[in-house]
Structures are given as C-alpha cells and as structure tokens.
Amino acid sequence: MADRPRPPGPLRLGGRSFPAGAQAVMAVVNRTPDSFYDRGLTYAFDAAVRAVDAAVAAGADLVDIGGVKAGPGEEVGPDEEIRRVADLVAAARERHPGLVISVDTWRAEVADVVARAGADLLNDTWGGPDPELPAVAAAHGIGLVCAHAGGLAPRSRTHRAAYGDVVAAVAGHVTGLAERAVAAGVRPDAVLIDPAHDFGKNTRHSLELTRRLDELVATGWPVLVAVSNKDFVGETLRAPVEHRAEGTAAALALSAWHGARVLRVHDAAAARAALDAVAFMRTG
C-alpha cells in the first residue's frame, strides 16, 4: 500500500466530474471478431455504433472501446487496432458529446491516434508494458487506468500465479504506476487503479481481491473494477459465459459497497440497477 494514502476526491474525465462516493458505469464495446463474451457481435462498424448508442440509453457514463481481444488469438498489429477503434471513437464523440470515451489499449502509438479522435481515457489492462503510454495521456490531457496483470505479456494466459498476499502485491504495483503517471504529467484526478481480476491471477486471487477491495479503495486512488462475466465468476458458480449475469451482479454490488468508483460491464442497464440498489441500501 502507499505510505500516505491520497484523500479521496472527484474523478474528472472529459467534461464529466464524478464526486467521491459516486459510482459510474463503464460499458464495454468490442470491435473484435473473437470477443469471449459476444463472439464478434459488435465487430462491424455499424453494430459497434449501435452498441454505443444503446449503452448511453441504458445509463452508461463511460464506454470502453477495445480493438484487441484480451486473450490469445490472431495477431492484431497497431495499424489494425487503430483501424478498428479510431473511427468508432470519432463517431461516438460526434454522436454523444458529453460521453466519457475510454479506449482499451496498452500501445502508446494507438493511444496517440485515439486521443486525437476524441478519447478521454486510456485503459491499460496489462499493467504498463509500454512505458510511453503515460506521456501520451499527459500530452493530450486525458486520463489513464493503471492495472495489475502480474507481469503477464499482453494477450497471454495466467500460469501458476502465486502471491504471498495478492492484495498487497496489487496495491503496491498499481499505486506505483499511478504515481509514475502523475510524475509524467497525467492529472491526479484523471488516474484510476484497477486490480484487473483474472489477469495474472487465479479464481482464488480474484475472489480475495473482491472481498478486500476496500483496501485498494483506502489508497485514495479511484478504483475501477472489471468483473463482468469473468472466469472467476464462472468457476465460482460453475457457469458458462452466458449464465454469469447473477454472479456478475453480486460481484458488482460487493465492489460498489466497498467503494469502487467505476464499474466496467457488458450490460449497462443491469449494472445501473445494481448500483442504484446499493446506493439506496447504503443511504436509505
């Protein structure tokens, strides 16, 4: 953990400000033909645009646009990743001027293009493999997600992950990345940390992170969680991807109760309902 936690404050992304204590829904829109969740349902440009529109209508505060499947698969170089995501970012910006647009990428060269197209946030789920990414975020005045992937190379699978204390390991890594991002010029109120459930972790690790998420929240950095339909949910419930909605809702609710600020999801409407219920239970 950081020795001197930051006091919680507002999260500012694009033209939006999210106060401390509030939760925001980040909807996933994948322009990939091989997504583990939708199997390419939003790969076509028009389908992806409709997915952005639907997410906004369902209550999403942010959309996270991805052009490369997280797991192993066909090689996708920077040029192809840019082809998949840059035009969609531009279209989303034109159609929804107030929407916070995130792009899921670890590559600085891709980040520079999508920032020029209108992205407000760079979501590096692989824990900083490209050291130039914070400089890109700083140059464009946009946000950055700092995640923990256990040292995995992008698009590789977890193999025999081991930690003495997974929460301490994650906290040390993500707070270090966050501090380096600020040193590179990224605004402190535009930096988030993400424990990256399942990335470089087994199911036991991901469950431990969910139970002890309040310890990451206590660092003061806004916490993003991406638990939607993930393998740890499926293994816990012995459920395939298409039957993980209930487990996802439970993980989202627990994360929100512990203080997560941004929840990355496939079903924005269900997530919004779950978060509204948590807010009501907390405040009455």
Lowest mean pLDDT among 113-122, 260-269, 271-280: 271-280
Instruction: Reduce the DSSP state of residue 126 to 3 states and report it.
Output: coil
CATH level 2 (architecture), domain 11-283? Alpha-Beta Barrel (3.20)
Q: What pLDDT shows up at residue 282? A: 85
How confident is the model over 132-149, as a mean pLDDT? 98
Give the model confidence (pLDDT) of 52-87 as tens digits: 999 999 999 999 999 999 989 899 999 999 999 999
Asked if pLDDT for residue 37 goes beyond 90, the answer is no
Determine the pLDDT at residue 100: 98
Domain boundaries, the chain: 11-283
Cα–Cα distance measured from residue 256 to residue 23, given in angstroms and rounded to the nearest whole number: 7
Residue 4's pLDDT is what? 64
pLDDT band at 212 (very low <50, low <70, confident <90, very high): very high
Rounded CA-CA distance 52/207 in Å is 30
* 8 vs 125 pLDDT, higher one: 125
Alpha-carbon gap, residue 113 to 121, rounded angstroms: 12
What's the CA gap between 137 and 121, in Å, rounded?
Answer: 8
The confidence score (pLDDT) of residue 175 equals 98
200: left (phi over 0), alpha (psi -120 to 50) or beta: left
Q: What is the pLDDT of residues 229-263, one digit of tens each?
A: 999 999 999 999 999 999 999 999 999 999 999 99
- Mean pLDDT, residues 279-284: 85
Phi, psi of 161 (to 5 degrees): -65, 140
